[in-house]
Structure 1
Amino acid sequence: MSEQLPLQRFQHWVAQCPDKVWLRQPVAGVWHDFTWCQVDDQARRLAAALQALGCAPGERVAILAKNCAEWFISDLAIQLAGLVSVPLYPLQSAESIAYVLEHAACKAIILGKLDEPAKLESGIGPQVLRLAMPYPTLRADYQWHELQAYAPLPTAPVQQADELLSILYTSGTTGQPKGVMLSAQAMACAAASSCAELRIDERDQFFSFLPLSHAAERFLVEMNSLYSGAQVAFVESLDSFASDLRYIRPTVFFSVPRLWTRFQQGVLERLPQRKLDLLLRIPLLGGLLARKIKRGLGLDRARILVSGAAAISPGLLDWYRRLGLVICEGYGMTENFAYGTFNRPGQVRFGSVGRPMPNLELRIADNGEVLFRGPTLMQGYYREPELSAKALEGGWLHTGDQGEVDGDGYLRITGRVKDIFKTSKGKYVAPAPIEGEIAKNTWVEQVCLMGSNLDQPLALIELSPAARSQPREQVSAALQATLAQLNAALQPHERLSHLVLVSEAWTVDNGCMTPTMKIRRNVLEARYAALVSSLPGKPPLYWENC
């Protein structure tokens, strides 16, 4: 392997441009800059503190914090001390945190910015040493200023390619999270290859706000910035998100479908779709309007726009394209450090998740499952040898997703192997493509198809915030039109009996979504089982609790 490993790459920038700003952190509205040299000094001091406090090489240290400069510093310190990082989701439940800390046998936890820290207190047992970043957070044994008082670690360990660098726990859509073991080589190969392929360099600017505990943000922002030398700015809070984004104006921006939908809804609340369509068709004025919208979002400098972590509607992609914002959808998993297929800028094919990235092999199994092979694959699941052997059978990562590859090598995901269900008529239905069609309706925030052992499938729909403020007749008419158009195009066994408009939002707190904002189908099926059984004989468009 020719790529520098992460600590080597970090030291490269410290030596080459020690006084150049790498990280930018807002605190109370004031931006604080961290140079490569300053990050190195703080990381070495924290590494020395970790060792002095009894963390031995190979032991696990958790990070529980929202994105900030100190998250990067903590991650580097853990590597410098020869330890293994275990990132936790800031939105994780106390029970889930307790499970991961016990399963990974974490010696210590580094705590940072959290929205509701009191809810998480019970998840951290007395056996775990608590260290705090310089923000209001949970009770800690040591504060950041105390940790920074240690003399900097004089030497760094020599990382090995096959060295375990981090255990990333999956979000647990169907059960307990699994600990994905990622090596130094896996992280290095993913970042070095993507920076070269996408020509990301020191002139670029990242904006970090999605959880760094998620493989996609860790790869696309943290590791890509480390390998490219590009600057990273962090969001301060949810309240300051829009203004922070407009201030930074990143050149590379990664988001998830739900947020792309929220951006769209924000534009349409100020400028209804019909008026927007009319203005965009007017020469010159349309271009001026599109540029104004892009500036208002803070995306006027963006040259690479990425959507991942879940499927995004082709209709939504087309809506952004008309504004001059071409979103590149990608596809990867925690198990291959989110390094999979990608729609390169200028080579985007809507409806697909792109072509394989360099040094990655893609194959479709006989049952339609997507398989990957390459140097970014996990070493296995921590303490789960049987699950590891199954997931990596034959040297290929078995993704659990079904897909098709066209003649030009573009992959289209058609559903989850486990999500496909059989109706009472014995016919199989793949929910993902149907959900994608329903999601084209701008009143739809989220959708979940159900149909196992039912005569016909049906769709549960969470309405967007904008839809909830509209006259019900208007929303109903639009959704009825969607249902009629959809059923006309589906096979008889796929046609939907009902669209059910649920009254309660699906959130992480009520268990309907994972910390990575994926729908928990099994939870929704159980939650709405009684409602579904009462639907026969009721109108095709049904409002819950009405």
Structure 2
Amino acid sequence: MSTSVATPEQLEIVKNRAKSVSAMFYNRVKESGGHEAYRYPDENEKWHSLTWAETGVRVTHLAAGLVSLGIEAEQRVAIASGTRLEWILADLAVNAAGAATTTVYPSTMSDDVAYILADSDSRIVFAEDDDQVAKLREKHSELPSITKVVVFEGTTDGDWVIGLDDLEKLGEAYLNEHPKVIEERVAATTGDSLATLIYTSGTTGRPKGVRLSHDGWTYEGSVMVAGDFLSIDDLQFLWLPMAHSFGKVLLTTQLAVGFATAIDGRVPKIVDNLAIIKPTFMGAAPRIFEKAYGRIVGMTEAEGGAKLKIFRWAEKVGLEHSRAVRSGKSISPILKLQHGIADKLVFSKVRERFGGRVRFFISGAAALSPDIAEWFHAAGVLILEGYGLTETSAGAFVNQPDNFKLGSVGTPFPGSEAKIAADGEVLIKGPHIMRGYHNLEGESASSLEDGWLHTGDEGRIDEDGFLYITGRKKELFKTSGGKYVAPPHIEGMFKGISSLTSQILVHGNERNFCSALITLDPDGVAEWAANNGMAGKSYAEVVSSKEIHDLIEGQIEELNSKVNRWETIKKFAILDHDLSIENGEITPSMKVKRNVVEANNKAILDGFYAK
């Protein structure tokens, strides 16, 4: 078993946390009123700021507007939108009104939107734009409980669909008659009150609603205060989907610590925004680091010549320096000098791509390749990998700037416990554990036993309490020769080898050898094509070329030299398209839906094993 190694002071911070998210928010408004809370772009890419005091006024008006529309304690109010300032204002207002937020990804198809809203019994929906409203209108007859839609930007009808400004005005009017209403709602909200209902996108079947309490979220925020590695002077760049627990927990972390947050959920704008915002930290899914790694390495390889030689030399020096630092060894004068030169010529430029001020990144939502994490550390970019599930209110383990091990997901949060079951499954207990699945008592009971959450992930805990995830129970397969294979481990290794790869899916359950389906990064492919005499050719043409096949084959051979014999990839195929949310092949949180991808490519996989 691994219990968090926490000081009495840390445990005291966790113990004395706010009783609700809304109380935490208004405490922050009172304490930091004149400080910047949020920074956001307008349609002309000009950035604006809101102070905590200004945010408090807007949230109170919106919350009172919800109350005026009849919202009662713990009733559900949905948000169907991408990440933007209005998402956060709406979420804070829902909790301030004593209600609970139902999160809906903007990419969710109308059938699933209708299912989520009906299953959650949501009463009001905040919709981002006309596209989201169209889904609601299409399913209007199936959603009798939806009494009002509040649109962030788009067309209103003055009846069923109103604007955010309209809701604020309703709230102002209601507050004139009931000035204490929000104060009373906040006071009546307890730690056990329902705060959020997050529907896991899941890799199979219908999404399940995870019931998360105020206590879970305030616990998560207090943990970051106790960890003492973020301060009010930090600046966060937030682009992660707020419908996902990882994005949501960064909001409560901000409320607990008090730093400012710059918000823009447009993924194509991430690189541009980093240069403008110059954040000190950012949360991200591993795919962002994989793409950055692929882009940096790919561009340098394309230039070739002296620049590539210097880059490769710097990589070697950086890795040697990183390993010496992490092992506690002294740095020799020669290595120190070499590292200084490598940093000036190469690594400083890598850091500049992220704005030049990042102290660390926090990686979650999926497994990060240890090789990529080490490469970035060599470049002076620390990626702190964490681990958790929607069912743990996002986080459960995290590495810290002064206490980390690359390849691990860190140690348990203060005030929580973790252990490894007899079959290798990771079990977690603590204040952050869900209150069960909505309307699914049977599944709740099977996932929660005596307060222990069965995560479905397999792992090991080392002598220092660091957790290493070794695989997903459902993803572990056995070859026809009786050997067990953990695909995520092999897939992570390959992404550290192949900077051009977007996704790799290792296959081989009950087969006599392992095979793989591979997709390449479209941006990387376009750049490779431009430098290899294929400029102007389509993605499908480039990835089907002999040159690309030979390149990937060489990388597969390198992978095979690093894994057990029964884990080696004997055959592979490069798909003519990258996996996408729109095609249902990956979830909005960038997890591959293995069963969908394997079903879509059954003919290719069967062909690998045809006699």
TM-score by length of 2: 0.83
1:211-230 aligned within 5 A? 211-219=241-249, 221-230=250-259
For 1:197 and 1:236, the matched residues in 2 are separated by: 27
Name the SS for the 1:454 alignment partner: coil
1:129–1:141 Cα contact (<8 Å) kept: no
User: Within the alignment, does 1:527 sit opposite 2:556 as a pair?
Assistant: no
1:19 CA drift (Å): 2.4
In 2, the alpha carbon distance for the partners of 1:287 and 1:263 equals 18
Paired amino acid for 2:50: F
Q: CA separation of 1:151/1:51 partners in 2, compared to 1, >3 Å: closer, same or farther? A: closer
Comparing 507-516 with 257-266, which one deviates more in the overlay? 257-266
Give the secondary-structure state (helix, strand or coil) at the position aligned to 1:534.
helix
Corresponding residue to 1:254 among 262, 277, 283: 283
Show the counterpart of 2:352. Answer: 295
> 1:129 corresponds to which residue?
147
Pairwise CA distance, 1:278 = 3.5
Corresponding position of 2:215: 185
The residue number in structure 1 matching 2:311 is 276
Shift of 1:386: 0.8
1:20 is matched with 35
Greater Rg, structure 1 or structure 2? 2
SS at match of 2:402: coil
Equivalenced residue count is 536
In 2: Cα distance, 1:21 partner to 1:363 partner: 41
In structure 2, which of residues 568, 587, 590 is the aligned counterpart of residue 517 of structure 1? 590
1:108 matched to 2:124? The reply is yes
Matching residue of 2:405: 349
Contact 1:22 1:230 in 2 (8 A): yes
Q: Name the counterpart of 1:464.
A: 521
CA contact (8 A) 2:32 2:258 kept: no
Amino acid at match of 2:147: L
Q: Which residue of 2 aligns with 1:328?
A: 384
Q: Which residue of 2 aligns with 1:365?
A: 421
Q: What's the counterpart of residue 437 of structure 1?
A: 493
In percent, how many aligned pairs have the same letter? Answer: 31
Given the superposition, is the C-alpha separation of residues 336 and 126 from structure 1 closer, same or farther in structure 2, using an over 3 Å criterion?
A: closer
- Map Cα deviations across residues 71-111 of structure 1 (whole Å, 9 max, x no partner): 11111111121211101112222222111111101111001
Q: What residue number does 2:460 align with?
A: 404
Task: Give the deviation of 1:478 after TM superposition.
Answer: 3.8
* TM-score of the aligned structures, taking structure 1 as reference length: 0.92
- Distance in 1 (CA, whole Å) between partners of 2:373 and 2:525 is 20
What residue number does 1:174 align with? 204
Where in structure 2 are the equivalents of 1:411-430 lying within 5 Å? 411-430=467-486
Higher helix share: 2
- Distance in 2, matches of 1:226 and 1:418, equals 36
Using the TM superposition, name which of 377-386 and 87-96 deviates more.
87-96
Greater RCO (CA < 8 Å, at least 6 residues apart)? 2
Relative to structure 1, the CA distance from residue 130 to residue 278 in structure 2 (aligned partners, 3 Å threshold; closer, same or farther) is farther
Mean Cα displacement is larger for which, 460-469 or 383-392?
Answer: 460-469
Return 5+ residue gaps in structure 2 as ranges: 1-14, 302-307, 318-337, 533-544
Shift of 1:346: 3.0
Residue of structure 2 equivalent to 1:73: 89
C-alpha spacing 1:119/1:261, structure 2 compared with 1 (3 Å): farther
The residue that corresponds to 1:160 in the other structure is: 190
Conservation of the 8 A alpha-carbon contact between 2:240 and 2:265: no
Quote the offset at 1:225 in angstroms. 0.5
The residue type paired with residue 570 of structure 2 is S
Q: Which of 486, 489, 493 pairs up with 2:566? A: 493
Distance 1:144 1:116 in 2: 15
State the distance in 2 between where 1:138 and 1:316 align. Answer: 47
SS of 2:246 mapped into structure 1:
helix
Matches within 5 A, 1:466-485: 466-467=524-525, 469-470=528-529, 472-485=545-558
Distance 1:247 1:223 in 2: 24
Of 224, 235, 243, 1:194 maps to 224
Stretch deviating more after TM superposition (484-493 or 174-183): 484-493
Amino acid at match of 2:76: R
Counterparts of 2:386 and 2:551 in 1: how far apart (Å)? 30
Q: Within 2, Cα distance between the matches of 1:301 and 1:121?
A: 45
Match of 1:64 among 57, 74, 80: 80
Equivalent position amino acid for 1:148 in 2: E
CA contact (8 A) 2:82 2:265 kept: no
Equivalent AA in structure 2 for residue 464 of structure 1: D
Quote the residue 1:7 is aligned against: 22
Query: For residues 422-471 of structure 1, what are the alpha-carbon distances to aligned partners after superposition, in whole Å with 9 as ceiling and x for unaligned?
Result: 32334332212121222222121111111123221211111123146345
The AA in structure 1 aligned to 2:588 is: P
Report the CA distance between 1:116 and its aligned residue. Answer: 7.9
> Using the alignment, how far apart are the partners of 1:253 and 1:44 within structure 2?
28
User: Are 1:88 and 2:104 an aligned pair?
Assistant: yes
Residue 266 in 1 paired to residue 295 in 2? yes
Q: 1: distance between equivalents of 2:267 and 2:560?
A: 39
Is the 2:76–2:124 contact (alpha carbons within 8 Å) kept by the matching residues of 1?
A: yes
